[in-house]
Amino acid sequence: MNDIDAWVWWLVAAAALGIPLVVTAMPEFGMFAVGAVAAAVASGFGADLVVQVLVFVVVSVALIAVVRPVAARHRSQRPQLATGIDALKGRQAVVVERVDGSGGRIKLAGEIWSARALDTGRAFEAGEEVDVVDIEGATAIIM
């Protein structure tokens, strides 16, 4: 064991910590691997074993303390880009055929859609601009 420098062992540890990162997709292993690389750098600069272990622990804990909350916050946020039906909600459309509580037609995003009024007592005439509040199946709900 004395024939191999300590920095090599730290790099082996970093590679060994990278394997569970790939297999389990747990980012904490990657943070420990970065800590091992930092300890290898400290060893390469001639730091003794106690300093190397302290560098490993401090870097690993700092990464976990900083990166995990940021990653958790990003995971819980909705994507900024709405697609499909979600992208149509809130858009404006033009009435093509009279729309009331029982039905009608609108032009939405360049396509003709069946539509009905959110307020069943209200009617929209051809040419009026309306807002799409929801999509139910293939029918746009407008107001």
Task: Kindly report, residue by residue over 115-125, the tens digit of the pLDDT.
Answer: 999 998 999 99
Dist CA 32 CA 79 (whole Å): 29
Q: What are phi and psi for residue 127, nearest 5 degrees?
A: 95, -20
The token pair that represents 14 in the structure block = 């970093």
pLDDT at 45: 93
Dist CA 108 CA 91 (whole Å): 8
CA 30 to chain centre: 19
pTM, two decimals, is: 0.53
Residues 45-98: pLDDT tens digits? Answer: 999 999 999 999 999 999 999 998 888 888 777 667 778 888 889 999 999 999
* CA–CA distances in Å: residue 17 to residues 30, 51, 88, 98, 137: 7, 20, 45, 65, 48
* Confidence tier at 1 by pLDDT (50, 70, 90): very low
